[in-house]
Amino acid sequence: MGLRYQTQKNSSSSCKFSTIVIFFLILITSILLFLQQPWQWPCPCPCPILPHPRPSKKIPQAGTAIDLRDAKFPWNKLSFGHVSQQWLKLAVFSKTWPVIGAAPGGMERHASTLCTALADRGHEVHVFTVPSDRTPREDIHQGSLHVHFAANDHGSVNCSLAFEIFSRENEGRAFDFVHTESVSLPHWRAKMLPNRVAVTWHGIWYEIMHSKLFQELLSNPNGQLPGPMTELQEAMPRLIDEIRFFSGYTQHICISNSAADILTNIYQAPRKNVHVILNGVDETVFVPNPVAGISFRRKYGVPDNASVIMGVAGRLVRDKGHPLLYEAISSISRRHSGIYLLVAGKRYKELAQSVKVLGALEALELSAFYNALNVFVNPTLRPQGLDLTLIEAMHCGKPVVAPNYPSITGTVLIRDELGYTFSPNVNSLTEALEKVVGDGRTGLRRRGAACKEHAVALFTATKMASAYERFFLCMKDDQYCKYPLPNDL
């Protein structure tokens, strides 16, 4: 009825109607032109400073909302507002928990940085683990952080005991989410849980196979048998086993972009269950501090006129990267004077007068160590995980020399200006170090400034913790999967 009435009315007064339309079009056009005037036409100086939209570096572009579960980039790139009305109860399984005096590895540092930050935000966090020095200790209860130690006679995790304590804690208010650092919670137990489980992968067998390949090529160049080939051969069944049990965990968090690609392309995990949250380090501890750097150099007898001071972290021995560095440094030192190498860590033999072995360093001293350098070198043969030392050096404003593994070039050393890459062989590393020496202190300082910017944008403990917080909230309640929410950005 209404439609026919309108049609009749339109046809009878169509002439008058189009006049009105044209009138309004002209009016609206002139209003728009008037409004645009200040942007379009030059105005007499001094010009008022007009607000203009700054190009947004954030992903997604302003105005477009996304579902976080579809994000194919690190969640660290987003900035999440604090959600104060939702307190989560979280269970975390970790193979070890760092204690003072034992140099912690990447995985346990991830666990402690993350759990401490989440507990500080008010969430109730229960960790099931053992002390990293493998000695019996009292459980820790600090505010809403609860660390339950469940060791067997050898000091490693007694899974049944850890699971018993977990079940007891789960009886009252059930855990909102269970998180495991790699396979600390075995896949067959994960499958049995009524709770939802997410795993953060610190190195997967596909990447470990790469390590073994590089070690084989480097330590046995002529293919003599028996060589370390056996390790490479043993890695393959482990990889196949890992791909098979993968589906025991539902949600997968990767600490590098390349690991996420492997999980979806090789392990065939559904992309919507694979998320990238990069490692973060305490951005208040690792900061540029030239004064601390200078006094650190003096303490260890590095002369003021040294031309380039390089540094490495001493956990290298385990992954056999040090023979590589030994040869490259010897060759560089023969050709250039004033090159110094500082080694943080114990297990490293003296190479020459220009090499200083510093012993194990605590976090604060470690920060001074990075500050004492002009460049940080990491000749690791392990292309897995995300190396915290590279991130720490960058936070202190130092460029890095690192192998061209996908985990590094896809996430950390993403641009040439941030440092130098090499293939894991002596010639390639020597070539990279030649470039370092060629760039000299001034060039290195410029790259270091770019590194600092990159590290602050992605690799802070705060960004990591707020990404995980949002992840757990999103898994519990869909509405938190939307980004941005009103208090984000």
Ligand X SMILES: *[C@@H]1O[C@H](CO)[C@@H](O)[C@H](O)[C@H]1NC(C)=O
Binding site for ligand X (CB under 6 A): 152-153, 158, 160-161, 164, 303, 305, 307, 337-338
Q: C-beta of 305: minimal distance to ligand X in Å?
A: 4
Rounded CA gap, 371 and 249, in Å? 41
Rounded CA gap, 367 and 390, in Å? 12
> Closest CB to ligand X among 161 and 239?
161
The runs of H, that is alpha helices, within 340-405 are: 363-372, 388-395
> Closest CB to ligand X among 161 and 294?
161
The token pair at 273 is: 């269950």
> Closest CB to ligand X among 81 and 303?
303
Q: C-beta of 249: minimal distance to ligand X in Å?
A: 23
The token pair at 277 is: 């949250």
- 453 to 183, 205, 379, 398, 409: CA distances (angstroms): 33, 32, 23, 11, 17
Q: Across the strands, what pairs with 180?
A: 93, 199
The runs of H, that is alpha helices, within 72-184 are: 106-120, 159-171
Rounded CA gap, 167 and 189, in Å? 12
Q: Is 96 exposed, middle or buried (0-12, 13-18, 19+ CB in 10 A)?
A: buried
Q: C-beta of 337: minimal distance to ligand X in Å?
A: 5
Q: C-beta of 250: minimal distance to ligand X in Å?
A: 27
> Closest CB to ligand X among 82 and 298?
298
Q: C-beta of 206: minimal distance to ligand X in Å?
A: 31
> Closest CB to ligand X among 237 and 338?
338
Give the residue at shortest CB distance from ligand X: 338
Q: C-beta of 159: minimal distance to ligand X in Å?
A: 8
> Closest CB to ligand X among 79 and 160?
160
Q: C-beta of 273: minimal distance to ligand X in Å?
A: 32
Sequence-ordered strand ranges (E) for 24-123:
66-67, 89-93
**DSSP label of 48:** P
> Closest CB to ligand X among 158 and 404?
158
